[in-house]
Amino acid sequence: MAERQLKRPAPGSAALLAGVDLGGTTVAVGLVSADGQLLTKLVEAVGEDHQPERIVKRISGLLKEALRQAGRSCSDIQSLGVCTPGLLDLSAGVVTAANLKGWTKVPLVKLLSQELGWETCRVTLEHDTNSALLAEAWVGAAVGLENIVLLSLGTGIGAAIICDGRLLRGSRGQAGEVGHAILVPDGRDFGRSGVAGIFEGYASASAVVARAREGMVPESSLSKLEALDCEDVFAHAAKGDAYAKELVRETARYLAIGCINCCRFVDPSVILLLGQQEAGEAFGELCRAMFDGMGGERVLLLECRAALQLPWASLPLKAVPMTFGMLNLAKNIIGAGMLSLPVALRGAGLAPYVVGITLAGALNAYTFFLLGWCCEVTGASTFGELWAKCFGQQNAWIADVSGSVRYCVLMGDFFSKALAGLLPDCPLLHGRGVDLCIIGLCLLVPLSLMKDLAPLRYASIAGLAATAYVFLMLLKDSVSSARWGADGPLASNVSPMRLDFFEALALFGSAFMAHYNAPKFYSQLQEKSVPKFAVLVCMAYGLALVVFVAFGMCGFALFGYDSEGNILKNYGFGPEVMLAWLSMGFSVAFTYPLVFSGFRDSCASLLSGFGIAESSSFRLSFTLVAVAATILGGTIFSNVAQVNGVKGAILSPCLAFIYPAAIHLRSTAKDKDAPASLVAMRRGSYGPGSREKQKL
Looking at 273, 290, 314, which one is the last position of a domain?
314
Evaluate whether residue 610 is within a structural domain.
yes
Range of the domain at 575: 322-682
> Is 405 found in the same domain as 512?
yes
In the chain, the percentage of residues whose pLDDT exceeds 70 is 66
Q: Which residues partner with 198 through β-bridges?
A: 182
Question: CA separation (Å) from 660 to 61, 69, 293, 664?
Answer: 21, 20, 54, 6
DSSP letters of 270-303?
Answer: EEEEES-GGG-HHHHHHHHHHHHHHHHTTSSSSP
Instruction: Return the CA Rg of the chain.
Output: 29
> Is 508 found in the same domain as 451?
yes
Evaluate whether residue 10 is within a structural domain.
no
Q: What is the pLDDT of residue 595?
A: 61
pLDDT tens digits, 389-413: 555 555 555 545 554 555 555 555 5
Q: What is the rounded average pLDDT for all residues in the chain?
A: 74
* Other CB atoms within 10 A of residue 252 CB: 22
CATH number at residue 80: 3.30.420.40
> Is 157 found in the same domain as 83?
no
- Torsions phi, psi for 160 (to 5 deg): -140, 145
pLDDT tens digits, 539-597: 999 999 999 999 989 988 888 888 887 777 777 767 777 777 677 767 667 766 766 66
- Contact assessment for residue 452 and residue 593, using Cβ atoms and an 8 Å cutoff: no
Q: What is the pLDDT of residue 108?
A: 92
- Contact assessment for residue 238 and residue 221, using Cβ atoms and an 8 Å cutoff: no
Length, in residues, of the chain: 696
pLDDT over 80 (residue 359): yes
Evaluate whether residue 142 is within a structural domain.
no
How far apart are the C-alpha atoms of 161 and 441, rounded to whole Å?
A: 53
Which pLDDT band holds residue 525 (cuts at 50, 70, 90)? confident
By C-alpha distance, which of 150, 154, 128, 129 is closest to 141? 150
The count of domains in the chain is 3
Angle, alpha carbons 46-516-519 (nearest 5°): 45
> Is 340 found in the same domain as 310?
no
Evaluate whether residue 141 is within a structural domain.
no
> Is 288 found in the same domain as 206?
yes
By C-alpha distance, which of 407, 396, 246, 253 is closest to 339? 407
Q: What is the pLDDT of residue 297?
A: 37
Q: What is the pLDDT of residue 180?
A: 84
pLDDT over 50 (residue 271): yes
Looking at 297, 314, 331, which one is the last position of a domain?
314
DSSP letters of 551-607?
Answer: HHHHHHHHHGGG--SSGGGGS---HHHHHHHHHHHHHHHHHHHHHHHHHHHHHHHHH
> Is 631 found in the same domain as 667?
yes
Looking at 292, 314, 336, which one is the last position of a domain?
314
Q: What is the pLDDT of residue 193?
A: 57
> Is 310 found in the same domain as 329?
no
How far apart are the C-alpha atoms of 31 and 179, rounded to whole Å?
A: 31
Question: CA separation (Å) from 74 to 71, 121, 397, 398, 667?
Answer: 10, 16, 18, 22, 31
How far apart are the C-alpha atoms of 678 and 552, rounded to whole Å?
A: 43
Least trusted range by pLDDT, from 4-8, 637-641, 654-658: 637-641
How far apart are the C-alpha atoms of 427 and 505, rounded to whole Å?
A: 37
By C-alpha distance, which of 103, 139, 92, 78 is closest to 23? 103
Evaluate whether residue 268 is within a structural domain.
yes
- Torsions phi, psi for 107 (to 5 deg): -75, 75
The amino acid present at 106, given as its one-letter code, is V
> Is 283 found in the same domain as 428?
no
Q: Which residue has the higher pLDDT, 648 or 312?
A: 648
> Is 668 found in the same domain as 603?
yes
pLDDT tens digits, 164-206: 888 898 877 778 788 888 888 888 887 655 678 888 889 888 8
